[in-house]
Homo-oligomer: A and B are copies of this chain.
Amino acid sequence: MLNETIQLGLAGFGTVGSGLAKIIQTNQEWIARRLGKNLAIKTVLVRDLDKPRPVTLPPRTRFTTSPDELFQDPDIDLVVELAGGIEFPRHLITQSLLAGKSVVTANKHLLAEHGPELFALAAEKGLGLYYEASVAGGIPIVQTLKESLAGNRIRRLTGILNGTANYIMTEMTAKGLDFATALSQAQELGYAEADPELDIEGMDAAHKLCVLIRLAHGEDYPLADLPVQGISAVDPFDIRMAGEFGYCIKLLAQVKERSGHLQAGVFPALVAKDHILAKVDGPFNSILLEGNAVGPIMLYGQGAGDLPTGSAVLADIMALSREGCPPNNTGFPGTSLPRADILPPELTVSRHYFRFTVKDRPGVLSSLSGIMGERNISIAQVVQKRDEIREGVPVVFLTHSAPMKDASRALAEIDAAGFTIAPTVHYQIL
C-alpha cells in the first residue's frame, strides 16, 4: 500500500509553503499511516532560484520558475497554490484544473474575488478545489461548515478572523497604546507585515468572510457589497471608555441571516468582557456561530503562522488524496451558487456606542438625548468625562437596540445642530 506516493506540485515557498514542507518531513511516517500513502513534494515553483530557504527539501525535489512544470507534469497529482496575489494564482489554478489536477489553496483574496468562476470550473471538471487554510489558519472552520454543520441553518456567524488586527487591539487595550505604536510593535514582532493595509483596514477579514458566507449559506456575497471598516481609526480613549462600561473593542467579521436575507460586515465593535469572544487575545482567531440545530459553537486557534496554516493545507491534501472521494468544494452540489440576497446595512439592528465631543455649555446633554429620543433610540448608559488632552467634552452614550438607519439619522442631525466640535465616534455593540 505504501508504495503509492502522492506527488505534489507546490507554488510558493514562503511562510506557509515552508511550514507545509516542515510538517510533511516531520510527520512523514504518521501521514503515511493515516493515509496509507506517502506524500512527496515533487516540484516547487519559486520566483527566485537563488534565494536561500529555511527548509531543506530532499535532493529529488525540483525547484523551478516555470508554472508549466506544475500543471503540465503528468506525475504531479495535486497542485498546492501558496504563491499569493491574484492574477498569477488565478491562472495557475485554472490551468491546473484544465489539466485535470485538483488544487489546494490558501488564497482567500482570490477566492473572494474569483471564487464563482474557479468553483464552476472545478465542478465542471469533477475536481477538488480545497481551501481550509484560507480562513483562520489551522482552525477547521471550512470543514466544519462544509460537512459537520451541513444540516444546520447558520443564523449568525461572528469571527475574529485577522490575527494582526486582534493583536494590535489586544495590545492597545492591555497597555493603553495608540494605534501607530501598537502597529509598529506588531511589525517588529512579525505579527504585522511591512504593508499592513489589508489586515488593519479589514479587507483580509472581508475576504475570509466572503469565503465563510459561501460555505454557511451557499450564496455568493460579492466582496464589493460588503461594508468594511478597519481599526486604524480606533482611539485609545474609546478603548478606555468601553473598558469602563465592561467592554473591549475587537475587529469582528459577521454575517446574520434574517428570513433568507444576509446582513454582513467587517467592523470594530464593543464586546462584553465576559463574552467568550472577549477572551480571544493576541494573534489568535476564533469563530462563534449559531446553528438552528447545534446552537452556539465556537472554534479557537492560531489564525496564521507557518505550521498552523500548513496543517490546514495538509488536511486538504490528505482529504483529496484519499481514494476515490468525489470532491466537495463548496459544500453544495452543482456548478454555481446563487447571489446572496443582501439586507442593506441601514437595517442592521444592534446596540450602539456613541462618543460625541461637545462644547462645554449647559443644555448640551439634554439636546443630545432629545434628538436620540426623537429617533426612538433608547439610551442605556451615559458618561460625560473630561479628556485632558483634547478640546471639548466627550459624552459617551450606550444605547439599547436600534436600527442603524435611526442611529445614522440621529448622528447626522446632531452633527448638523452644531453641538459637536469633533467627528462623532460610533461603534456597534455585539
Contact = CB atoms under 8 A, between A and B. Distances in A.
A307 B294 contact: yes
Contacts of A292: 26-27, 307
Interface stretch (A82-90, A94-102, A315-323): A315-323
B307 A295 contact: yes
A394 interface: no
Contact of A218 (B33, B307, B308): B33
Contacts of A30: 151, 153
Given A27-B152, A324-B326, A305 B295 contact: yes
A331 interface: yes
A163 interface: no
The oligomer's copy count stands at: 2
B34 A332 contact: yes
Interface stretch (A52-60, A137-145, A188-196, A237-245): A137-145
A421 interface: no
B218 A34 contact: yes
Interface in A105-154: 132, 138-140, 143-144, 147-153
A150 B301 contact: no
A27 B317 CA distance: 31
A23 B314 contact: no
27 contacts: A1-B333, A23-B152, A26-B292, A27-B151, A30-B153, A33-B218, A34-B218, A34-B331, A34-B332, A138-B291, A138-B294, A138-B295, A139-B297, A140-B140, A140-B148, A143-B144, A144-B148, A147-B315, A147-B318, A147-B319, A151-B317, A152-B311, A293-B307, A294-B311, A295-B302, A295-B307, A299-B299
Return the 7 tightest CB-CB contacts between A and B, nearest first.
A140-B148, A138-B294, A36-B333, A151-B314, A293-B311, A297-B301, A294-B311
Given A143-B144, A147-B319, A293-B307, 17 more contacts: A23-B152, A30-B151, A33-B218, A138-B291, A138-B295, A139-B297, A140-B143, A140-B144, A143-B147, A143-B148, A147-B318, A150-B318, A151-B318, A294-B301, A296-B302, A297-B299, A324-B324
